[in-house]
Homo-oligomer: A and B are copies of this chain.
Amino acid sequence: MERVTRHFQEQLEVLQERLLAMGGLAEDRMCDSVKALTTRRPEMVERILTGDEPINALHIEIDDRCFKLLALHQPMAADLRAIVAAVKINTDLERVGDLAVNIAEATKRYLEHAPVKPLIDIPRMGNIAQAMLRDALDAFVRRDMQLAEAVLAADDTLDGLKTQIFRELLTFMLSEPSTIEPALDLILISRHLERIGDHATNIAEDVIFMVSARDVRHHLGDHS
């Protein structure tokens, strides 16, 4: 293998590694935000609210790596698709980190009130969103189309849970006005989790495009 090519391949692998590290950080922050809610731990909330420096730094580093790979190596075909996918996945992961902060903000307010109800569906949403995120990144690493398609399917479950949570909490709010404020925050949290699922979906779509050069967005592919 030519020296320049080998260097390029090594750099591509480092890029992938850093993207997985970014995924790990985003996932941890998301899980911690839900755990802080279910276990009612304000000090855990604070850690999330103040701890976004590492993920932000990594976001910039990865963007920079993608840009340098494009500029210095002028990659073609599959490599080019992988790097453009990395640019997009990086953005999605950064937003997942932001959403963990949004969940922590709502949790902070929520913990000022008595619990509205035992939380069952919100942790379930958290688990599904986490699995989607992990599967989407696994699909990226393994170039696994089938796994990416499974992520797209899981999004419907998340959507259904969000609607169910909305209806249930609305009933609480209507029957007991003292629950209005905390129930509102639970509704917002369920929407943040749904959006994390949307980002996992975006990543899965990018993987499918990268592997197949087939565009499944806007339901023009198999999902039409």
**Could you list which residues of chain A lie within 8 angstroms of chain B, going by C-beta atoms?**
52, 56-57, 59-60, 63, 66-67, 70-71, 74, 76-77, 80-81, 84, 87-88, 91, 170, 173-174, 177, 180-181, 184, 187-188, 191, 215, 217-218, 220
Determine the chain B residues whose CB is within 8 A of the CB of A63 once the complex forms.
215
Cα A59 to Cα B173 with chains together (Å): 40
A/B interface sample: 13 pairs, CB < 8 A:
A56-B218, A59-B217, A59-B218, A60-B218, A60-B220, A63-B215, A67-B81, A70-B84, A71-B76, A74-B74, A87-B88, A173-B173, A184-B184
Given A60-B218, A180-B174, also A80-B88 (CB < 8 A): no
- Point out the residue from B57, B77, B184, B217 that lies within 8 Å of A71, measured CB to CB: B77
Complex copy number for this chain: 2
- Point out the residue from B84, B88, B170, B177 that lies within 8 Å of A184, measured CB to CB: B170
Is B91 a contact of A56 with CB atoms below 8 Å?
Answer: no
Cα A57 to Cα B217 with chains together (Å): 10
Determine the chain B residues whose CB is within 8 A of the CB of A215 once the complex forms.
60, 63
Is B181 a contact of A170 with CB atoms below 8 Å?
Answer: yes
Determine the chain B residues whose CB is within 8 A of the CB of A217 once the complex forms.
56, 59-60
Determine the chain B residues whose CB is within 8 A of the CB of A52 once the complex forms.
218
A178's closest neighbor in chain B, by CB? B174
Determine the chain B residues whose CB is within 8 A of the CB of A218 once the complex forms.
52, 56-57, 59-60
Q: Give the Cβ gap from A178 to chain B, nearest Cβ, in Å.
A: 9
Cα A188 to Cα B56 with chains together (Å): 27
Q: Give the Cβ gap from A204 to chain B, nearest Cβ, in Å.
A: 15
Determine the chain B residues whose CB is within 8 A of the CB of A70 once the complex forms.
70, 80, 84
Given contacts A71-B80, A174-B180, 10 further A-B contacts (CB under 8 A): A52-B218, A57-B218, A59-B218, A63-B215, A70-B84, A71-B77, A173-B180, A177-B177, A184-B184, A184-B187
5 tightest A-B contacts by CB? Answer: A74-B74, A56-B218, A173-B180, A71-B80, A60-B215
Cα A66 to Cα B83 with chains together (Å): 13
Determine the chain B residues whose CB is within 8 A of the CB of A91 once the complex forms.
88, 91
